């Protein structure tokens, strides 16, 4: 038996687990034991090539060699082929870093995800962790805020508000208690970057939130995590305990005079809790009814105190910015969209997963080059960008660049960077109906246009789908959409017309339906 | 799969007391009670109201607002099937149709037996859908036969 065990990486990311990574890890452990081979199995995050999961990597002298997608059944044959030293096998992918999917990316936020052991503080530090925090500790709060401003970072949760300006407001506010709240509700269909980050590199978010706390003078933080993510919840709780035990957070951040107490709180299955004021109500223990703004959460947020509310990816971008400098971050991107965007590619696509790139790549490059087209092999018909409140685009519109303003100019939105691909079997009238149905189910109920409007929308779509009085019902649909857009208190009701109208405007043929036979009524 | 003890007002009171020091403790309390008993009995309302100095209406209002909290004991197994857009693009609606046509399982039907298949919107597995969450474990590329099998499994163990 050789002295040094072979390091074999098997992802513990929920998506990898969903297609059998646990069985693969167990098979590797027992097969190695049976063969008397010393192995160390590291449970890493996913590299983001989700179609290759479970993807196993083996550390060799020339680097890490990937094999995938591997099932437990493949494991004996992999050992027979000498995979523990990088041997040839049908599942051998080559050096992970040199795979096309990896090489094309500009990974700043996700640089460690899939590379390190997510819960090892030593590994985190060895791969550049805490450098941003250490640099921040040497600065004043105002200097940190200025750096974040200069980086051009805009909130990654959807609205794209400049993070530095939000932090400045909280920094300047006078209060005996301030809060940092991480919005990890990630309710949009097609998005999973927050989850992958928590499961693959949780200390990065903790570090980002700690820097925010130092910048604005906050001593308490909450991560509001959706309950649909039990795996991420476990990882985060363990990471926070370990970070506290190591003196990274708690009464003294890295031995400094700053205190920062951090807690994870679970949501309870309500999409609207992603809206920041609704999230704050939920954290306070109430029904998550949206608050009217002003007052801004930055001035009167959690328990009425000045509060920074940012998305997971916004916090996670900050350590890199502090470490490498604001200008280095701002050098990536286009127009007013600076830095990199973690893009999530899902739905009917051959190679779905997570891609981090500077703003500016086109949708077509992402879906066709990286994604390889549809999984079904049929033509792409529609692509929804930006979650359930985002627009549906046609196959002809895919040359648009990933950038807040470019998408807005097409009456679409970037949202949290989720892309969902549909093939030509999609029925766009049904998708429009779903948008209303979703809004009706998930509305907080505070305002009439959203609460009642969405229900009327479902009824109107049912009539259109039944082929009843099409022109009249389409006029009702447009009228209703205008009302919801203009009169809703928040973007839930205000943006639901975006998927609806984009479906109607780009795919009118799906709304022009022959009447159903009477029996169906 | 969890087998839950029957509701017990004294241990519920202990759970509530143990969390009363938290800021905004209502949701942590409700989660802890549901983790322990599998649901939140209406008897929890006065306990929480008293511990947090809230009105009963406020506590009841919170319980009824969130999809997660159940106020009656649940079937032995809950399978959460994602029916959001990315899973729609991968055929989750045919899974729902097949479950009902071939296996007699109506999604979201609380009277279906001791396993329930429930709608959720997005499990963060949108590149490997259709997706389901079964007793806290995520399953990708799921089909109707697999879900029906998991329902059977729920019955056998109850
Ligand atoms: C209906 C609705 C749902 C939202 N869901 C989320 C979410 O899941 N995660 C998130 O970070 N922001 C979400 N937002 C945006 C937040 O309200 C808020 O803008 C964001 O958390 C601010 O952080 P950022 O500046 O870092 O983006 C949602 C907004 C609306 C209207
Ligand atoms: S638009 Fe809908 S979700 Fe937003 S405040 Fe009004 S009712 Fe609530
Ligand atoms: S849409 Fe089903 S897992 Fe995201």
Distance A451 CA to ligand 2 centre (A): 7
Residue A493 in contact with ligand 2 by CB distance below 6 A: yes
Q: At what angle do helices B26-37 and B56-65 cross, to 10 degrees?
A: 70
Q: For A184-236, what is the HEC assignment?
A: ECCCCCCCCHHHHHHHHCHHHHHHHHHHHHHHHCCCEEEEEECCCCHHHHHHH
Nearest CB to A190 within list B58, B85, B131: B85
| Helix (H), strand (E) at residue A479 | helix A470-487
Q: What's the N-to-C CA distance of chain A in angstroms? A: 74
Pairing of strands A380-385, A392-394: antiparallel
pLDDT digits (tens, 9 = 90+) for B101-115: 999 999 998 776 788
B137 contacts chain A (CB < 8 A): yes
Distance A259 CA to ligand 2 centre (A): 36
Which residues, in sequence order, are CB contacts of A257 under 8 Å at separation 6+?
none
The residue among B156, B139, B120 whose CA lies nearest residue B1 is B156
The predicted structure's pLDDT at residue B152: 85
The predicted structure's pLDDT at residue A135: 98
- CB under 6 Å to ligand 3: residues? A 189; B 82, 84-87, 122-126, 129, 131
Place of tokens 């009995």: B41
Residue A211 CA to its chain's centroid (Å):
21
Residues of B in contact with A393 (CB under 8 A): none
Pairing of strands B115-120, B77-82: parallel
The predicted structure's pLDDT at residue B112: 66
A449 alpha carbon, closest ligand: 2
DSSP lists the bridge partners of residue B82 as: B120
The predicted structure's pLDDT at residue A42: 98
A455 alpha carbon, closest ligand: 2
Alpha-carbon gap, residue A72 to A49, rounded angstroms = 19
Q: What angle do CA A25, A27, A31 make, to 5 degrees?
A: 125
Residues of B in contact with A53 (CB under 8 A): 128
Q: What angle do CA B125, A99, A95 make, to 5 degrees?
A: 110
Nearest-Cα distance to chain B for A404, in Å, is 22
Which residues, in sequence order, are CB contacts of A476 under 8 Å at separation 6+?
A460
The predicted structure's pLDDT at residue B3: 82
Tens-level pLDDT at each residue, chain A (521 residues): 456 899 999 999 999 999 999 999 999 999 999 999 999 999 999 999 999 999 999 999 999 999 999 999 999 999 999 999 999 999 999 999 999 999 999 999 999 999 999 999 999 999 999 999 999 999 999 999 999 999 999 999 999 999 999 999 999 999 999 999 999 999 999 999 999 999 999 999 999 999 999 999 999 999 999 999 999 999 999 999 999 999 999 999 999 999 999 999 999 999 999 999 999 999 999 999 999 999 999 999 999 999 999 999 999 999 999 999 999 999 999 999 999 999 999 999 999 999 999 999 999 999 999 999 999 999 999 999 999 999 999 999 999 999 999 999 999 999 999 999 999 999 999 999 999 999 999 999 999 999 999 999 999 999 999 999 999 999 999 999 999 999 999 999 999 999 999 999 999 999 999 998 765 44
B107 contacts chain A (CB < 8 A): no
Handedness of CA A413, A419, A424, A426 (dihedral sign): negative
| The dihedral formed by the CA atoms of A242, A248, A249 and A254, expressed in degrees to the nearest 10 | 160
Q: Exposed, middle or buried by CB within 10 Å (0-12, 13-18, 19+), for A16?
A: buried
Alpha-carbon gap, residue A82 to A207, rounded angstroms = 40
Alpha-carbon gap, residue A500 to A46, rounded angstroms = 34
The predicted structure's pLDDT at residue A11: 98
Per the CB < 8 Å rule, is B127 touching A192?
Answer: yes
B129 contacts chain A (CB < 8 A): yes
Residue B25 token pair = 């403790």
pLDDT digits (tens, 9 = 90+) for B67-118: 999 999 999 899 999 999 999 999 999 999 999 999 999 999 877 678 899 9
Which residue in A has a C-alpha nearest to residue B55's C-alpha? A286
Q: Which of helix, strand or coil describes residue A78? A: helix
Which residues, in sequence order, are CB contacts of A344 under 8 Å at separation 6+?
A190, A191, A192, A193, A353, A354, A355, A416, A417, A418, A419, B126, B127
Mutate to test the pocket of ligand 2, among A276, A435, A446, A456 (most ligand atoms within 8 A of CB): A446
Residues of B in contact with A381 (CB under 8 A): none
Residue B158 pLDDT more than 60? no
Distance A433 CA to ligand 1 centre (A): 24
- A181 neighbors B78 (Cβ within 8 angstroms): no
Q: What is the pTM of this model?
A: 0.97
Q: Which of helix, strand or coil describes residue A488? A: coil
Nearest-Cα distance to chain A for B140, in Å, is 5
Instruction: Compute the residue count for chain A.
Output: 521
Nearest-Cα distance to chain B for A422, in Å, is 5
DSSP letters of B88-127? HHTTHHHHHHHHHHHH---TT-TTS-SEEEEEES--S-TT
Distance A157 CA to ligand 1 centre (A): 5
Nearest CB to B31 within list A266, A270, A348: A266
A290 alpha carbon, closest ligand: 2
The predicted structure's pLDDT at residue A102: 97
Query: In ligand 1, which atom is closest to the CA atom of A313?
Result: 26
Per the CB < 8 Å rule, is A190 touching B67?
Answer: no
3-state DSSP helix/strand/coil % of chain B, to nearest 5:
45, 10, 40
């Amino acid at each position: 038996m050789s002295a040094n065990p072979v390091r074999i990486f098997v992802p513990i990311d929920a998506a990898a687990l969903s297609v059998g990574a646990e069985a693969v890890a167990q098979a590797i452990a027992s097969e190695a034991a049976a063969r008397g081979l010393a192995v160390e199995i590291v449970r890493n995050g996913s590299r983001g090539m989700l179609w290759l999961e479970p993807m196993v990597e083996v550390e060799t002298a020339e680097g890490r060699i990937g094999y995938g997608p591997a099932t437990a059944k493949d494991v004996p044959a992999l050992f027979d082929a000498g995979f523990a030293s990088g041997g040839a096998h049908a599942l051998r992918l080559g050096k992970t870093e040199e795979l096309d999917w990896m090489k094309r990316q500009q990974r700043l936020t996700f640089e460690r995800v899939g590379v390190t052991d997510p819960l090892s503080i030593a590994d985190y530090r060895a791969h550049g962790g805490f450098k941003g925090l250490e640099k921040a500790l040497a600065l004043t709060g105002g200097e940190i805020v200025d750096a974040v401003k200069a980086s051009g970072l805009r909130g990654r949760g959807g609205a794209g508000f400049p993070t530095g300006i939000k932090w400045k407001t909280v920094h300047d506010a006078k209060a005996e208690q301030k809060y940092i709240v991480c919005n990890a509700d990630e309710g949009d269909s097609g998005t999973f970057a927050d989850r992958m980050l928590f499961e693959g590199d949780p200390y990065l978010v903790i570090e980002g939130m700690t820097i925010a706390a130092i910048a604005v003078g906050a001593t308490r933080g909450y991560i509001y995590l959706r309950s649909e993510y039990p795996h991420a919840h476990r990882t985060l709780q363990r990471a926070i305990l370990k970070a506290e035990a190591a003196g990274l957070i708690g009464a003294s951040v890295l031995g400094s005079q700053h205190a920062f107490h951090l807690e994870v709180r679970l949501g309870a299955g309500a999409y609207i809790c992603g809206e920041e004021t609704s999230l704050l109500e939920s954290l306070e223990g109430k029904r998550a009814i949206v608050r009217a703004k002003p007052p801004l959460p930055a001035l009167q947020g959690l328990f009425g105190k000045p509060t920074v509310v940012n998305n997971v990816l916004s916090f996670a971008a900050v350590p890199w910015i502090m470490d490498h400098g604001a200008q280095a971050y701002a050098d990536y991107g286009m127009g007013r969209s600076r830095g990199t965007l973690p893009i999530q590619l899902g739905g009917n696509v051959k190679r779905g997963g997570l891609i981090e790139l500077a703003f500016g790549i086109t949708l077509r490059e992402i879906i066709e080059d990286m994604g390889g087209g549809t999984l079904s092999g049929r033509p792409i018909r529609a692509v929804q960008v930006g979650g359930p409140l985002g627009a549906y685009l046609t196959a002809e519109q895919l040359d648009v660049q990933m950038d807040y303003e470019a998408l807005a100019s097409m009456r679409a939105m970037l949202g949290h960077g989720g892309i969902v691909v549909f093939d030509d079997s999609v029925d766009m009238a049904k998708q429009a109906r779903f948008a209303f149905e979703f809004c009706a189910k998930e509305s907080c109920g505070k305002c009439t246009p959203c609460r009642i409007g969405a229900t009327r929308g479902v009824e109107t779509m049912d009539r259109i789908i039944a082929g009843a009085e099409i022109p009249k019902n389409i006029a009702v649909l447009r009228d209703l959409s205008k009302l919801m857009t203009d009169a809703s208190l928040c973007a839930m009701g205000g943006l639901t017309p975006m998927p609806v109208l984009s479906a109607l405007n780009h795919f009118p043929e799906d709304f022009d339906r022959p009447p159903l036979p009477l029996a169906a009524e | 799969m969890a087998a839950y003890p029957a509701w017990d007002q004294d241990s519920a009171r202990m759970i509530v007391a143990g969390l009363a020091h938290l800021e905004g403790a209502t949701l942590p309390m409700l989660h802890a009670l549901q983790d322990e008993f599998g649901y939140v009995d209406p008897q929890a309302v006065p306990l929480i109201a008293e511990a947090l100095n809230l009105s009963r209406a406020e506590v009841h209002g919170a319980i009824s607002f969130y999809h997660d909290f159940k106020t009656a004991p649940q079937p032995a197994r809950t399978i959460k099937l994602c029916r959001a857009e990315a899973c729609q693009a991968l055929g989750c609606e045919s899974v729902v149709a097949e479950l009902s046509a071939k296996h007699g399982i109506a999604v979201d039907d609380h009277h279906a037996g001791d396993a329930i298949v429930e709608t959720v919107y997005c499990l963060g597995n949108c590149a490997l859908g259709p997706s389901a969450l079964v007793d806290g474990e995520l399953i990708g590329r799921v089909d109707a036969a697999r879900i029906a099998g998991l329902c059977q499994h729920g019955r056998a163990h109850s």
